[in-house]
């Protein structure tokens, strides 16, 4: 009896595990296959056309450089990752607070939103030296630059999300005499989450870019420092290895945010369409 009753459960568990494994392979295999094909074509083109390494190093030379200087590059990667995560967190929190203020105060939004948009158009290469002068040449200035870039996308998306609620649902909350906090926490904030995660995904890319550009301006460590020193010495394989590491941390950071999005808003249509696909 025990074996008979456990068989359907075991079958369901194996089917669930197989489905999860199949879904994971469906996500990972296409980009991995594309990477292998592109790397092969790249390697063949460099060999076939005898392209000098200072113009375009072959993937094999980049890999050798990454293995040879792996400890050093990983150390610099950790510095850049810390700056990116810290700036992302600070900038996103401040942007979320400003977005909430804009959503609840039309006067504040009309008065400050034009300046927020104007500040967002300032090139980071122009603002980075100023921020470094204010905060010094250490890690805090790199975090400040990253926070500056991560501030605006979430502020605008948070404001838009909090304003995009269902008015029929809001009427129900009014009839139920819900408090302003209950309307915010149980209705407006959940409905804004798809917009919030769009802003967070933008912030992921901006945070890595901001950290590296800040290191271009003034730094003695980090991937931006590695890229600039490798460029000055024409060590292109090391430069490309540093760029590869920056791409990897950006992809992993983005994947983490996407995973959190999938866990928090599985009810959203984009999540359901992704599962069906």
DSSP for 94-154, please give it.
Answer: HHHHHHHHHHH-HHHHHHHHHHHHHHHTS-HHHHHHHHHHHH-SSHHHHHHHHHHHHHHHH
pLDDT tens-digit map of 182-215: 888 888 888 889 999 999 999 998 999 999 998 9
Q: 253: how many CB neighbours lie within 10 A of its CB?
A: 20
Q: How far apart are CA 85 and CA 250, in angstroms?
A: 10
pLDDT tens-digit map of 51-97: 888 888 888 898 988 888 878 889 999 999 999 999 999 999 999 99
270 versus 261: the higher-pLDDT residue is 261
Determine contact, residues 211/84, Cβ cutoff 8 Å: yes
Please tell me whether residues 76 and 195 are part of one structural domain: yes
Q: How confident is the model at residue 10 (pLDDT cuts 50, 70, 90)?
A: low
pLDDT tens-digit map of 133-166: 888 888 899 999 999 988 888 999 999 998 887 7
Q: How far apart are CA 260 and CA 65, in angstroms?
A: 34
Please tell me whether residues 10 and 107 are part of one structural domain: no
Please tell me whether residues 21 and 84 are part of one structural domain: no
Please tell me whether residues 77 and 42 are part of one structural domain: no
Q: How confident is the model at residue 268 (pLDDT cuts 50, 70, 90)?
A: low
State mean pLDDT over 118-127. Answer: 83
CATH number at residue 261: 1.10.3720.10
> What range defines the domain where residue 155 resides?
57-276
The pLDDT assigned to 275 comes to 47
Summary mean pLDDT of the chain: 84
2 versus 197: the higher-pLDDT residue is 197
2, pLDDT greater than 50: no
Please tell me whether residues 132 and 253 are part of one structural domain: yes
Number of domains into which the chain is organized: 2
pTM of the model: 0.81
As a whole-number percent, the residues of the chain with pLDDT over 70 amount to: 86
């Amino acid at each position: 009896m025990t074996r008979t009753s456990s068989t359907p459960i075991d079958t369901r568990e194996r089917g669930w595990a197989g489905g999860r494994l199949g879904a994971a392979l469906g996500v990972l295999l296409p980009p991995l296959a594309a990477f292998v094909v592109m790397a092969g074509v790249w390697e063949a083109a460099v060999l076939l056309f005898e392209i000098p390494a200072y113009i375009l190093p072959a993937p094999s030379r980049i890999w050798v450089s990454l293995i040879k200087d792996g400890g050093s590059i990983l150390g610099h990667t950790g510095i850049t990752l810390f700056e990116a995560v810290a700036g992302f967190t600070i900038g996103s929190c401040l942007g979320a607070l400003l977005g909430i203020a804009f959503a609840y105060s039309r006067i504040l939004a009309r008065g400050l939103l034009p300046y927020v948009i104007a500040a967002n158009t300032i090139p980071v290469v122009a603002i980075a030296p100023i921020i470094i002068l204010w905060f010094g040449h250490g890690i805090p200035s790199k975090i400040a630059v990253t926070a500056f870039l991560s501030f605006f996308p979430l502020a605008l998306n948070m404001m838009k999300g909090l304003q995009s609620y269902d008015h029929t649902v809001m009427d129900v909350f009014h009839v139920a005499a819900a408090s302003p906090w209950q309307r915010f926490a149980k209705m407006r904030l959940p409905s804004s989450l798809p917009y919030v995660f769009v802003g967070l995904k933008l912030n992921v890319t901006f945070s890595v870019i901001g950290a590296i550009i800040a290191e271009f301006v003034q730094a003695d460590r980090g991937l931006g420092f590695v890229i600039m020193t490798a460029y000055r010495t024409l060590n292109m394989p090391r430069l490309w290895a540093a760029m590869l590491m920056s791409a990897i941390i950006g992809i992993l950071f983005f994947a983490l945010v996407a995973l959190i999005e999938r866990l928090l808003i599985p009810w959203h249509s984009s999540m359901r369409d992704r599962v069906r696909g």
